[in-house]
Amino acid sequence: GENVEQHPSTLSVQEGDSAVIKCTYSDSASNYFPWYKQELGKRPQLIIDIRSNVGEKKDQRIAVTLNKTAKHFSLHITETQPEDSAVYFCAAGFSGYALNFGKGTSLLVTP
Amino acid sequence: DAGVIQSPRHEVTEMGQEVTLRCKPISGHNSLFWYRQTMMRGLELLIYFNNNVPIDDSGMPEDRFSAKMPNASFSTLKIQPSEPRDSAVYFCASSRDHPGEKLFFGSGTQLSVL
């Protein structure tokens, strides 16, 4: 089955800096790559997703890039704010099937 | 819409007892997923249903775990007998159209087995 590796496990940045979280996946057939944000004590919520026919997608301060050849994808957060502090999960899978999640990255944005 | 509804929010039980977790997916969503979250293992898929039919239960840890979806608006995850290593947050999630895409998670059940 699909194996998703996520790095780093923890990340601390200063407010206003950029944050980058990277994931790799094992199954070249995977075609759907979402990112979820989980605030402390809350449920995971989808923040952005990308399909394999697209190399990059952007939504305000958040962007995701995908390199299918290398089987890795990344989340970029620019101009970080304290409310961006949360655990971020990447996932990979086939459209129409259950996802496999990475183990998460705990992001701390310090004022 | 009320979102995905899970109950109970917290469950504390003693080893050996039966535990039943409940989930009501968003109306109109035809896929339902049970995930378990721990610090060590992250979010693990336990089982998923599509149109009330179990599609993949390979993530169910062992025979002590069972899940049912008797209709489109209700699912249960049962652990019998429970063990301390089952302590975790159990999330239910649902999606529409394409299973696995744009998951909506419930608030989770924090299970503690003493």
pLDDT for position B2: 79
Average pLDDT, chain B: 93
Contacts A102 to B, Cβ<8 Å: 42
pLDDT digits (tens, 9 = 90+) for B5-59: 999 999 999 999 999 999 999 999 999 999 999 988 889 999 999 999 999 898 8
pLDDT of chain A, 111 residues: tens digit per residue? 778 999 999 999 999 999 999 999 999 889 999 999 999 999 999 999 998 888 899 999 999 999 999 999 999 999 999 999 999 999 998 877 788 899 999 999 999
Q: What is the pLDDT of residue A42?
A: 93
Residue A53: its pLDDT value, please? 84
Distance from CA of A34 to the nearest CA of B (A): 8
Q: What is the pLDDT of residue B1?
A: 61
Rounded to 5 degrees, φ, ψ at A79 are: 45, 55
So what's the pLDDT on residue B29? 93
Count of CB atoms within 10 A of residue A22's CB?
17
Instruction: Give residue B99's pLDDT.
Output: 72
Interchain proximity B102–A34, CB inside 8 Å:
yes
Give yes or no for B15 touching A (CB within 8 A).
Answer: no
Q: What is the dihedral of CA B49, B53, B59, B65, to 10 degrees?
A: 110
Q: Measured between CA atoms, how close is B74 to chain A, in angstroms?
A: 19
Can you give chain A as a three-state secondary structure string? CCCEEEECCEEEEECCCCEEEEEEECCCCCCEEEEEEECCCCCCEEEEEEECCCCEEEECCEEEEEECCCCEEEEEECCCCHHHCEEEEEEEECCCCCCEECCCEEEEEEC
CA separation, residue B90 to residues A7, A71, A73, A91, B105 (Å): 24, 29, 27, 18, 10
| Dihedral class, residue A104 (left if φ above 0, else alpha if ψ from -120 to 50, else beta) | left
Q: Which of A20, A26, A19, A31 is nearest to A5 (CA)?
A: A26
Is B23 in contact with B5 (CB distance < 8 Å)?
A: yes
CB contact under 8 A, A95 and B33: no
Closest chain A residue by Cα to residue B107: A43
pLDDT at position A98 is 82
Cβ atoms within 10 Å, residue A14: 9
pLDDT at B78: 98
pLDDT (0 to 100) of residue B49: 94
Q: Residue B19 has what DSSP assignment?
A: E
Question: Which tokens in the block code for residue B84?
Answer: 């301390």
Q: Are A7 and A20 in contact (CB under 8 A)?
A: no
Which of B:52-81 have CB within 8 Å of A? Answer: 55-56, 58
Q: What tens digit of pLDDT does each residue of B49-100 get?
A: 999 999 989 889 889 999 999 999 999 999 999 999 999 999 999 998 777 7
Which secondary structure element, helix H or strand E, spans residue B10, and what is its range?
Answer: strand B10-13
Q: Please answer yes or no on whether A45 and B106 come within 8 Å at the CB atom.
A: no
Joined together, the tokens standing for residue B83 give 């063990």
Structure tokens at B60: 């169910």
Q: From the CA of A98, how many Å to the nearest CA of chain B? A: 5
What is the pairing mode between strands B53-56 and B42-50? antiparallel
